[in-house]
Amino acid sequence: MSRRRLYPFNAEQTVNILSEFGPLVLMFVVNALYGITAGTWALIISTLVAIVAMVYMFRRPPIFPLIASSVTIAFGALTIVTGDAMWVQIKVTIFNAMFAAFLFFGLWTKRNFFQYVFDKTFHYTQEGWDTFTRSFAWFFMLTALLNEVVRLGFKDDHIYHVLGFDMNGVDIWIAFKLFFVLPMSGIYAWLLTKWMRVAERPKRKIEMTHRETKSDQHPQSTEPPLLKFLLELGPLVVFFIVNARAGIFWGTGCFVAATIVSLVASRIMFGKIPVMPLVSGIFVVIFGGLTLYLQDELFIKLKPTIVNGIFASILFGGLYFGHALLRYLFGEVFQLTEEGWRKLTFRWACFFVFLAGLNEVAWRLLSTDAWVSFKVFAIMPITMAFAIAQVGLLKRYAIDPEQNA
């Protein structure tokens, strides 16, 4: 029996699995020794290390693990700031439920996310991909439900006797994730890939698909810049207007709705959603939802700080390991030398740090209405001015297409 039949995952998928497993093991050990705050710090730091390691090994940011890790870091930060373990626990419920909804929405619109991500690894018919994705969507819903049962069923301030050990609710939750959810996820994925062999495409069709993909590896971007800018600015304008007329909570609700509409419009009009607006949009939905659910405006104000901090950390981490990550995001738009990509990435990383600090100062010193106005009429113009200021660098380090031909 071949190794492939026993273990159907390639190197990238194996590293992705380990990047989820490793931080949880570290959190479990550190939490048991030093408490939830130290355990959460261990989770955040090891998650950042895992992201950078994946970029170093595969020379590109892995989209799904990047989003999942970013959400982990954000909710871990909330746990540290508030001293409440509920945030890092509820992250699993929110993320799994949202990702399941995302997969179901993709199936409904005939855009199969897993087919896009894994088509070079698994070769299924269209019906096979739909079955594969639908099965995982229901699995994510199940794990979200199980997470809530354990989170609500075991209190953080109670001590439980489990298999001869004294454990509080957080310990039980971490052990549940580590020793039940992760193994169950791995076994389910392994079984599903074995069952799906009946839906594999014939070898001839696989080769034809690969030739078509190879011939279109570097398509030129045809997305109108003005339209992209309006799609990104629109939700902020909605936020400003509704907040001014009806208050922060109505403004937040409309901001979340407008962000979702903007992302869907990008997907329909351009055939894809850019990585950075996608990550930012996910955080808008999460932190906006927390603001509405808890009736606390702090969360929507913290969102820019956390998102910009994550972007800066990822870019700096990539540079530390010798990878200018902006090349993988904008390589279809700009053709730059290696030095040019490094300098551009460093400048944007520093700018994200600046934006994170600026937001922290603004929300702490300004009223809510003034902070919303600051986001629309200060942050956006500052960002545009900074982007325009990079034109000189783009020209100086541009590669001549004729010389590169």
What are the domain boundaries of the chain?
8-214, 225-404
Residue 218, pLDDT > 50, answer no
User: What CA–CA distances, in Å, run from 183 to 88, 91, 97?
Assistant: 20, 19, 19
pLDDT at 122: 66
Residue with more model confidence, 186 or 151: 151
Residue 220 has pLDDT above 50, yes or no: no
pLDDT of residue 118: 65
Confidence grade of residue 52 (pLDDT, cut at 50, 70, 90): confident
- Of residues 40 and 278, more confidence is placed in 40
Task: List the structure tokens of 143.
Answer: 């794990």
Can you give the pLDDT at residue 347?
93
Predicted local distance difference test score (pLDDT) of residue 185: 79
The pLDDT score that the predictor gives to residue 27 is 75
Q: Indicate the helix (H) or strand (E) that contains 19.
A: helix 11-34
Q: Is the model's pTM score more than 0.75?
A: no
Helices (H) and strands (E) in the chain, counts: 20, 2
Kindly report, residue by residue over 101-139, the tens digit of the pLDDT: 878 877 887 777 777 666 666 677 888 888 888 888 899
- Concatenated DSSP letters of 301-316: HHHHHHHHHHHHHHHH
Which band of pLDDT confidence, cut at 50, 70 and 90, is reported for residue 320? confident
Q: Is residue 308 pLDDT above 80, yes or no?
A: yes
The pLDDT-based confidence of 301 (bands split at 50, 70, 90) is confident
Residue 299, pLDDT score: 78
Quote the pLDDT of residue 362: 92
Provide the pLDDT confidence category of residue 240 given band limits of 50, 70 and 90.
confident
Stated as kind and residue range, the H or E segment containing 166 is strand 165-168
Higher pLDDT, 276 or 377: 377
Q: Of the segments 7-21, 148-162, 201-215, which one has the largest average pLDDT value?
A: 148-162
Using the predicted structure, report yes or no on whether residue 211 has a pLDDT greater than 50.
no
Query: Any alpha helices (H) in 59-177, and if so which ranges?
Result: 63-82, 86-108, 113-118, 126-153, 169-176
Report whether pLDDT(5) > 60: no
Give residue 358's pLDDT. Answer: 93
What mean pLDDT is predicted for residues 295-321? 80
- What is the per-residue pLDDT for 210? 45
Residues 36, 177: Cα–Cα separation, whole Å = 15
pLDDT at position 354 = 94
Average pLDDT over residues 325-350: 82
Distance CA 100, CA 97 (A): 5
Residues 243-252: pLDDT tens digits?
878 888 888 8
Q: Give residue 18's pLDDT.
A: 66
* pLDDT of 26 above 70: yes
pLDDT band at 66 (very low <50, low <70, confident <90, very high): low
User: For residues 20 and 110, which has the higher predicted lDDT (pLDDT)?
Assistant: 110
